Amino acid sequence: MKITFLGGAGEVTGSCTLVETGEARFLVDCGMHQGGHEAWEKNLAALDFDLRRLDFVLLTHAHIDHSGLLPRLTALGYRGPIHVTATTAELLEVMLVDSAHLQEKEADWRSRHRDARRLCPMVPLYTVAQARACLAQLRTIAYDTEFRPHPALSCRFHDAGHILGSAIIEVRVRAAAGTRRLVFSGDLGQAANGMLPAPRQIDGADALLVESTYGNRLHKSPEQTQAELIAAVSGTIAKGNVIIPAFAVGRTQAVLYSLAGLARAGKLPPLRIFIDSPMAEKATLITRRHLELLTPAVRELDRWMRGNPAELQLRYTHEVEESMALNQIRAGAIIISASGMCDAGRIKHHLRWNLPRAECAVVITGFQAEGTLGRRLVDGARSVRIFNDDIPVRAQLHTIGGLSAHADREGLLAWLRGFAHAPGHTFVVHGERDTAAGFADAVKQRLGWTRVEAAQQGGVHTLA
């Protein structure tokens, strides 16, 4: 059996692994590379193998860095099944169509401004029509249910607690030397953020692929995170607004429920929250339709929110005009908007209006990549450029790390301790190169496992 690391090895985007068992050939995840022109080239070059011989695809979760090239598979001719959980399918309906729409829009804009700005032409990786065709290939599977996508193997999805519908995937393959068990962690959640259950423990594997996004870091405690959120909000809303850039799927809902919990406990005054991102609205509505997947505490909190609209006024802004109207509010609004790294979307307007005001606050809740507007703010820029204007930064800046949807180093190690024996081989994936290598060392030292290595991009591993 052969495992090939096509993406998400030594990097945190583009997750994609090809498994060839002799009888079956399948992919686990088919993610988009993200971050600038280099990523675009990688996306164009990805999936360069004979797709007609691919039997099926398994998907751990809906985030674009794991799912974003699924429609590219369709565009290149793959017509087979893509197995996902039901909630992942719901999220993909929103996310893949949106991704295609953004690409079509950018390609169109480039073709119209090409001569004046000397832009290269751009062909979308896939169109909206191809994204919709891909959605028709999804096959939904419940958690903890064995299914057979091929006669030579069986699979099971376990709750990974990372975002709604996220799964750890277990595959049992018939091999010459007996049954071989492969485990793909996908992204693992952190139970401390309170929204989703802890990742399901797995007791054994012949080969394990484990993520390492935060394999070199420790999150702050829930108590510290709460204290920071209280300080940022209560010190601001009487005289200014609180602007929170957040990823639409996962982070927006974690921020919302954290604020609601504090309002309910009387640690914050009644709140007026605006979710100003069409995708975040859809993801929030899907979340609130699937309370059964959340922790009992959050289910209870959601009931309280519905019953106490005066304590927590929640509004979704759909139209651009409604979003622009938020700029007239001088004080008392908490605006959660995308993109999470402040590089695109409506958040840029809110920053433009609120950054120059010392009585406002900006709360950063997620990782800010090099080169993004969010990173410049975190690094303490006194002035930033937004829509060709120099905007002075006078608002208070808060960085809150504890709302991450990923387990930190100790969380990952705790999950690995659930294995009864060290897996035959452990491959550390989905982490920057140094982080993945460092985490592989930590696993060896702390757990005494010996066959642990950071996966290499393009690397092939053969399993007897």
Count the site residues for Zn ion by CB under 5 A: 2
Nearer to Zn ion, 323 or 404 (CB): 404
Using the rule CB under 5 A, give the single segment among 153-161, 184-192, 279-287, 429-437 that binds Zn ion.
184-192
Minimum CB separation from Zn ion for residue 57, in Å? 17
Q: How many angstroms separate the CA atoms of 226 and 223, rounded? A: 5
Using the rule CB under 5 A, give the single segment among 116-124, 169-177, 183-191, 307-315 that binds Zn ion.
183-191
Nearer to Zn ion, 249 or 391 (CB): 249
Which residues 6+ apart lie within 8 Å of 318 measured at CB? 278, 281
Site for Zn ion in 251-270 (CB under 5 A): none
Measure CA 253 to chain center: 12
Nearer to Zn ion, 95 or 153 (CB): 95
Minimum CB separation from Zn ion for residue 31, in Å? 9
Tokens 């809150």 appear where?
400
Q: How many angstroms separate the CA atoms of 365 and 22, rounded? A: 45
Q: Would you give the DSSP letter of residue 6?
A: E
Minimum CB separation from Zn ion for residue 249, in Å? 9
Count of Cβ atoms closer than 10 Å to residue 282 Cβ: 19
Asked if residues 196 and 293 have their Cβ atoms less than 8 Å apart, the reply is yes
Minimum CB separation from Zn ion for residue 269, in Å? 33
Secondary structure (3-state) at 67:
helix
Nearer to Zn ion, 26 or 367 (CB): 367
Q: Which of 90, 159, 170, 187 binds Zn ion (CB under 5 A)?
A: 187
Nearer to Zn ion, 11 or 187 (CB): 187
Measure CA 272 to chain center: 26
Nearer to Zn ion, 43 or 241 (CB): 43
Phi-psi region of 205 (alpha: psi -120 to 50; beta: other; left: phi over 0): beta
DSSP H helices in 178-249: 222-234
Nearer to Zn ion, 407 or 437 (CB): 407
Minimum CB separation from Zn ion for residue 99, in Å? 15
Minimum CB separation from Zn ion for residue 315, in Å? 27
In order of 151, 245, 345, the CA distances from 183 in angstroms are 19, 34, 37
Nearer to Zn ion, 62 or 326 (CB): 62
Nearer to Zn ion, 187 or 228 (CB): 187
Using the rule CB under 5 A, give the single segment among 180-188, 220-228, 284-292, 332-340 that binds Zn ion.
180-188
Minimum CB separation from Zn ion for residue 121, in Å? 31
Does 180 participate in binding Zn ion (rule CB under 5 A)? no
- Which DSSP string do the residues of 237-272 spell out, in sequence order? TTTS-EEEE--TTTHHHHHHHHHHHHHHTTSS--EE
Burial class of residue 456, CB neighbours in 10 A (0-12, 13-18, 19+): middle
Question: Which amino acid type is present at position 191?
Answer: A
Minimum CB separation from Zn ion for residue 330, in Å? 37
Length of the chain: 464
CA dihedral 156, 71, 320, 253 (to 10 degrees): 10
Using the rule CB under 5 A, give the single segment among 131-139, 181-189, 236-244, 306-314 that binds Zn ion.
181-189
Using the rule CB under 5 A, give the single segment among 56-64, 317-325, 349-357, 436-444 that binds Zn ion.
56-64
User: Would you state the structure tokens that stand for residue 103, as one six-digit string?
Assistant: 């690409």
Minimum CB separation from Zn ion for residue 242, in Å? 26
Site for Zn ion in 57-76 (CB under 5 A): 63
User: Would you state the structure tokens that stand for residue 321, as one six-digit string?
Assistant: 């005009």
- List of residues contacting Zn ion (CB under 5 A): 63, 187
